Amino acid sequence: MRFVADAMLGKLARWLRIMGYDTLCAADMPVDDDDLLNIALDEDRILLTRDQELYHRAINAGVRAVYVASTDIVVQLVQLVKLVGLELRDEPAKTICPSCNGQLMPVSRSEVRGLVPATVLDTHKQFWMCQSCGQVFWEGSHWKQIREIVAKAREALK
């Protein structure tokens, strides 16, 4: 399952990447609505939009699309679970780069020495590096918040 999101859904795009979903975002690229429709068609991606007009254009063009009305991330995730069968994931090893949508590869502590704060190097064993932008990731304290949001979405689905 792959997505392309309009510029108004940058936060949702980051969350989808964190959960391991290949997600392009208009906020990261110089594209207009026609480009988004073409990307969705050409690359078999689900279009996510907060623009009702774009949503209707997508549906009329045969593009699989979701109109995302809410600005609340938990509500957005629940909507995607219900409408497209999104699997809620909270595993750092499955994450795609939240910044650029690049693939993350495991790297050793020695490879990230000098790229992360010394305290992070001393307190963490697993690291991943984006193959596209070079950003380094680890399971930091922000993963507590990520897991809480995913848990709220799971609870809302009960």
Pairing of strands 3-5, 46-49: parallel
Residues 11, 77 within the same domain: yes
Model confidence pLDDT, tens digit, residues 72-123: 999 999 999 999 999 999 998 889 999 999 999 999 999 999 999 999 999 9
pLDDT at 93: 84
The answer to the question of residue 44 being in a domain is yes
Strand-by-strand arrangement of the 23-25 sheet:
23-25, 3-5, 46-49, 65-67
Confirm if 150 and 76 have CB atoms less than 8 A apart.
no
Q: Is residue 68 part of a domain?
A: yes
Judgement on whether residues 13 and 51 belong to the same structural domain of the protein: yes
For residue 133, what are the CA distances in angstroms to 20, 52, 124? 17, 33, 21
**Is residue 64 located within the same domain as residue 98?**
no
Question: 106: domain range?
Answer: 92-140
Number of domains in the chain: 2
pLDDT band at 25 (very low <50, low <70, confident <90, very high): very high
Helix/strand number for the chain, H first, E second? 7, 7
Is 54 found in the same domain as 101?
A: no
Does the pTM of the predicted model rise above 0.85?
yes
